[in-house]
Amino acid sequence: MAAAGENGGGAEQPAEGAQAPAAGEGQQIRAKILNPDEALDEIYVDGALNLQVNEAIAKFEFFNIAAVDGETGEHSWRRTQRLVMPLTAAPRLMAMLQNMMTELQKSGRVRVTPQNQQAGGEPDKS
């Protein structure tokens, strides 16, 4: 087993589509991905439900659609996962999400919703 900081010749670049996370004003953390070829578990969620932030961490709650009422069309959501991360990870996460939204808008897969309307993430059909 490789010691901490050694990866046996593995990748030394940041994760795909992202730069190394900011460590503070004007600083960046250099990091190696120790398992670049290892398959990861995937968790499917239908959407984000809630976000709680305290002094050091953020907690994101996600949901899956459990049922849809046939008459009213009302969805019943079931909370399924909670992602907990340090606030220091927020800038990198935000940059990744902004990049994703830019690419989705360019491709016409989502449209920008004016602030006074509900966001639905619907495809742009215009």
Beta bridge partners of 117: none
User: Is position 50 within any domain?
Assistant: yes
User: Is position 117 within any domain?
Assistant: no
User: Is position 76 within any domain?
Assistant: yes
| DSSP annotation of 1 | -
Would the pTM of this model clear 0.85, i.e. be above it? no
User: Is position 99 within any domain?
Assistant: yes
* Gap between the Cα atoms of 101 and 81, Å rounded: 23
Q: How many domains does the chain have?
A: 1
Q: Can you give the residue range of the structural domain that contains 66?
A: 41-106
User: Is position 79 within any domain?
Assistant: yes
User: Is position 23 within any domain?
Assistant: no
CB 59 within 8 A of CB 82: yes
| Sequential pLDDT tens for the chain (126 residues) | 334 333 344 433 444 444 444 445 456 778 898 998 999 999 999 999 999 999 999 999 999 999 999 999 999 999 999 999 999 999 999 999 999 999 999 999 988 777 665 555 554 454
CB 58 within 8 A of CB 87: yes
